[in-house]
Every structure is written in structure tokens, then in C-alpha cells.
A and B are shown apart, each in its own frame.
Chain A
Amino acid sequence: MSTTTTASPNEAKLWGGGKSPFNVEYGKLMMWYFLMSDAFTFGAFLISYGTVRFSTNGWPNSNEVFRSFPFAPEGVHAPLVFVSVMTFILIVSSVTMVLAVHAGHNMDKKGVVRNMILTIIGGIAFLSCQAWEWNHLFHEGAWWGRNPFLNADGTASSTNFTNFFFTITGFHGFHVFSGVVINIIMLIMTLMDKFEQRGHYLMIEKAGLYWHFVDLVWVFVFTIFYLL
């Protein structure tokens, strides 16, 4: 039994210099900083939405705007139902991503592959839901610059509502799309045994950080647009 790997962290000369202050790999640290900057981007979007809403007297009632779901019978309205499904899809795909990272820690290639496939399916399902909702709203007459909905109190509404909705959910949807692409690349690399050759699955962890961030942003977007 080789005992060279049992050296205590104090003895380990990480990166050949002094002790690593953060004890994480470079790429993972940079992923964290990228996500922090992305958090400010989304924060700026959502805060500008809040500022405009606070400076306006009326605002559409989200329960009257987002009340449809696929295959709904004529005239049946169910506010919050479809968006709850979308939220749970994203939570579940986040869980499968954690399981993929966990399998990667154990060098369990099969587990990584299975959970990455599930995560990708979850991402695609979420994007499909969003595409359906956008399409539906578009056919109701909503788009950038066009707002068919009235304020909750029956007064005329401005286009701020639809502009913010399509911009912010669109930006988030594009993040989901990028995440799915990244996850597919990670899946292919796993299948090609890239990570087995490297001896670690750190790339899965980095892709996982990004994917969880996308889920995190949805927590805010979902609450702010559909509940508040």
C-alpha cells in the first residue's frame, strides 16, 4: 500500500508554493468569481424591474397574466400551476447535478453519465416549458414593446411589464441553454473517458456550479415575477 498520499495537509506543498489559501483548484475559484459577476448582472436587471415597478402607480396582476398551461381546456385558468411545474423541474435537475458531482468524487463514471443525462433532460424540459409560455404570451399579444394586459386596478398599463418579463426570463433562459450545452459537452467528455484519464472529475464540479447558479437565479426570477 502506497502511503505517499496520506501526508497531512500541513505538509502538502500545494502548487509548489506556500499553502493554498483557498484550497480549491484555480478553475473552480474563477468559476465562483464569474458567478459572482453574473449575480450582479441579474441583480441589476431585477433591481431595475423593482425600481420601475415602485415608480409606477399600477401594475398587471401576475395571476391574470400567467394563468395558462399546455392542453388546457378552453376557458380554464390556473394561475401559478405551470410555473410551479417549471420550478420543480429545475430543482430536480439541480439535485441530479449534485448526484453527478457526487458520483464524480467517487470516480463512478456510470453514475456521472446517468445523472448528467437526467440533468440535461431536466434542462431541456425547462426550456420547452419556457418556449411554450413565451409562444402563448406572444399569441396573446405580448412582446417587447407590446402589452395587452391591463393593470390590476383596470387602468392602462405601460410596456414596462412585458419588456422586463421577456428580457429577464429571456436572459435566464439563455443561461439555461448555455448550461445544457455545457452539460452535453461534459457528458461527451465523460463518455470519452477524458476525466478517467485526468484522474478527477473536477470539470463536472465546475459545470455543476454553473448549473446550480442557473437554478438559483430562477428562484429569484420565479418569486419576483410570479409571486410578488
Chain B
Amino acid sequence: MSHSHNADANHEANNAAAISEIKKVTIILSVLTLIELVLGFWMMGIASESLRLAIKGVIVILMMAKAFYIVAYFMHLKHEVKNLIMTIIVPLLLFVWFIGAFLWDGGSFRNLRNSYDPYFKAQSTIKVEKKESKHGGTTHEVAPAAEKH
């Protein structure tokens, strides 16, 4: 009897711990999202390109933090066996190369086009005349060079 009573008490304690962990993670996720949104609103009024880039960096870090909390606690990965964690996390390290290589490639392609493709360069400097209309969105006159490749 005493044994089962002990087990019950243990179970209760585990239960309370699990619930408080869920509450804690919920609050963390909400706060991180709110910070992201505040940064997003703040960024709207900022013209400085380097400051915007810095804020974007912070937002990406917050995004990774949210991902960590969802995977570790909601998906329970943190409480799994270490071997299991490794078979999930190690393959995902491919993303480090994946993101770096492809964004670098994109940037390099832009440089190449700006250097050697006068049409591409010109197209990105011609401003389109805006005609505001209440319904059907903004219609605009497309500069003749910008319509087709």
C-alpha cells in the first residue's frame, strides 16, 4: 500500500512539474514573439540600412530561440535519449552549409548581373510612376524596359 501511495505522490509531483514547464515555455514563446513584433514595428521607421540589418539579425536569433523551445520542450526532444537527439540534430547541421552557400551564391549572382548586365542594372533604377486607385490596388505604368526579359 505504502509503495503505491509513494508512486502516486511521485506521479503528482511529475504532473505538476510537467504543467509548470508547459506554462513556462508558453510564456517564453509569447514574450519572444512580442519582442519580434516590437522590433518589426520599430524597424518600419528606420532608414539606416546597417541598423535595419542589425535588427534583422536579432530577429533571426529570436526565431532560432523560439524554434529551440518548440522542439526541445513541446516536441519533448530534450527529454529523449541522447542517441535519438543526435540522429535528428546532426543531419540538420547540413543547413549551415545549405544556407551559407546558397545565400552567398545569390549575392554573387546579383554582383555579376550588376557588373555585366546593363539592362538588369538599369531596370533597378527606373522608378515606376504610381497611380493610386482606391479599388483594385495600385495600378502602375511599367517603364517600357521593365516589362519583359
Task: Tell me the A residues contacting B by CB distance below 8 Å.
Answer: 1, 3, 21-24, 29, 32-33, 36, 39-40, 43-44, 47-48, 50-58, 63, 74-75, 79-80, 84, 87-88, 91, 94-95, 97-99, 102, 105-106, 139-141, 148-151, 153-156, 208-209, 212-213, 215-216, 219-220, 223, 226-228
Contacts of A88 in B (CB 8 A): 30, 33
Take A57-B124, A95-B22, A220-B67 as given contacts and tell me if A148 and B138 are in contact as well, using a CB distance cutoff of 8 Å: yes
Main secondary structure of the interface of B (DSSP, over half): helix
| Chain A to chain B contacts (Cβ below 8 Å), 10 pairs | A36-B92, A54-B110, A55-B107, A91-B33, A94-B70, A140-B137, A216-B70, A227-B39, A227-B43, A228-B56
A54 in contact with B107 (CB, 8 Å): yes
CB-based contact A102/B36 at 8 Å:
no
A-chain residues with CB within 8 Å of residue B70 when the two chains form the complex: 94, 212, 215-216, 219
Structural contact, A56 and B22, CB atoms closer than 8 A: no
Answer yes or no: B119 CB below 8 A from chain A CBs: no
CA distance A156 to B87 in the complex (A): 46
Q: Mark B93-120, 1 if CB is under 8 A from A, else 0.
A: 0110011001101110110011000001
Binding site for A on B (CB under 8 A): 1, 3-4, 15, 18-19, 22, 26, 29-30, 33, 36-37, 39-41, 43-44, 56, 59-60, 63, 66-67, 70-71, 74-75, 80-81, 83-84, 87-88, 91-92, 94-95, 98-99, 102-103, 105-107, 109-110, 113-114, 120-121, 123-128, 130, 134, 136-140, 142-143, 146-147
B138 nearest CB neighbor, chain A only: A148
CB distance from A205 to the nearest CB of B (A): 8
Q: How far is the CA of A180 from the CA of B70 in the complex (A)?
A: 19
A154 and B140 CA atoms in complex are apart in Å by 11
B103 touches which of A51, A208, A223 (Cβ 8 Å): A51
Which applies to chain A's interface (DSSP): helix, strand, loop or mixed?
Answer: helix
Chain B residues positioned under 8 Å from A44 (CB to CB): 98
A23 near B22: Cβ-Cβ < 8 Å:
no
Q: Are A150 and B130 in contact (CB under 8 A)?
A: yes
Distance, CA A110 to CA B112, complexed state (A): 62
CA of A36 to CA of B94, assembled, Å: 12
Q: Which of B71, B74, B140 has the most C-beta atoms of chain A within 10 angstroms of its own C-beta?
A: B74
Contact yes or no, A29 B124, CB < 8 A? no
Docked complex Cα distance between A21 and B18 (Å): 25
Task: Assess A63 versus B44: contact at CB under 8 Å? Given A1-B3, A55-B106, A150-B140.
Answer: yes
The answer to whether B127 and A155 have CB atoms under 8 Å apart is yes
